[in-house]
Structure 1
């Protein structure tokens, strides 16, 4: 596995990974309606691409395939961390988070996390966890 900085050419592969991960992994903790609202398949690629370039963003690759990605802003807000459904539990998210934390240089990392991510985040040194309620997207 290689951890490297995000490149704009990664965007479509990341969008597909996001959609597939939410629908294959997060479905164990959320209803079908909720995952459909969360990952519609209609990501605003321009908005995501701009966000990735503004943030510190890394991707994990295995043989030229993106198997995970994560991004953090300058305040220490961990915006996204997703791992391909076939690479769950293999240290991918930990490797990405470690790289992000080492480079951002803040002592406090904040994240609005899914129920699915809670066990992973509790194992690490994430100081403040917040589980965002997305009522307007069908979450409760």
Structure 2
């Protein structure tokens, strides 16, 4: 497996990010959301200019493997992971973890005391593994469909436990 490199989003990346967004929803969310729900959700990237503007309006990082954009995530303000999407071809290769870890460090550097996300049912297990705690279940409207997600939070800036001696 190749290493995951990170770089900032630039407007020229909007088309590729929209492709990843759609593919991720269609393929990775198929077990959690029905076809109508996935279509309503994925349609948010139909206007690539608006989609790119949303990514540009946040601190958006791209994960790159062997020169190819494998995923992206955005930090809205200092305390909210707004989007996290991985190309299905690169799923379960550490892309999501790398992106969330980087945004967590950036949020801490911005002085955030807590990080929040609205995790899809697909992403919730990753956020669980990364120390986020479920706060509440939500139903959100996308077009004419209702989708469930979970508000999750992670406390930042806690002192790490001292290393144990063996």
Tell me the TM-score normalized by structure 2: 0.76
Change beyond 3 A, Cα 1:8–1:66: same
Change beyond 3 A, Cα 1:10–1:136: closer
Cα RMSD after superposing both structures: 1.9
Q: Give the structure with the larger strand fraction.
A: 2
CA distance, structure 2, for counterparts of residue 54 and residue 136 of structure 1: 21
Q: Which residue of 1 aligns with 2:102?
A: 99
Q: Which residue of 2 aligns with 1:90?
A: 93
Q: For 1:4-36, what per-residue CA distance to the aligned partner results, in whole angstroms no more than 9, with x for missing partners?
A: 111111110000010011001101111111101
Q: CA deviation at 1:40?
A: 2.2
Which runs of 5 or more structure 1 residues have no equivalent in the other structure? Answer: none
Residue 57 of structure 1 aligns to a residue whose secondary structure is strand
- Residue 64, structure 1, aligned to residue 67, structure 2: yes
Which runs of 5 or more structure 2 residues have no equivalent in the other structure? Answer: 148-166
Counting only pairs closer than 5 Å after superposition, residues 32-43 of structure 1 correspond to structure 2 as 32-40=35-43, 42-43=45-46
Which of the pair has more CA radius of gyration?
2
Q: Give the structure with the larger helix fraction.
A: 1
Q: Which has the higher contact order (CA 8 A, sep 6+)?
A: 1
- Residue 80, structure 1, aligned to residue 80, structure 2: no
Q: For 1:23-81, what per-residue CA distance to the aligned partner results, in whole angstroms no more than 9, with x for missing partners?
A: 01101111111101111275333333222222111000122221010001224111000
Counting only pairs closer than 5 Å after superposition, residues 101-120 of structure 1 correspond to structure 2 as 101-105=104-108, 106-120=112-126
Q: Which residue of 2 aligns with 1:139?
A: 146
Number of positions where the alignment pairs a residue of Structure 1 with one of Structure 2: 140
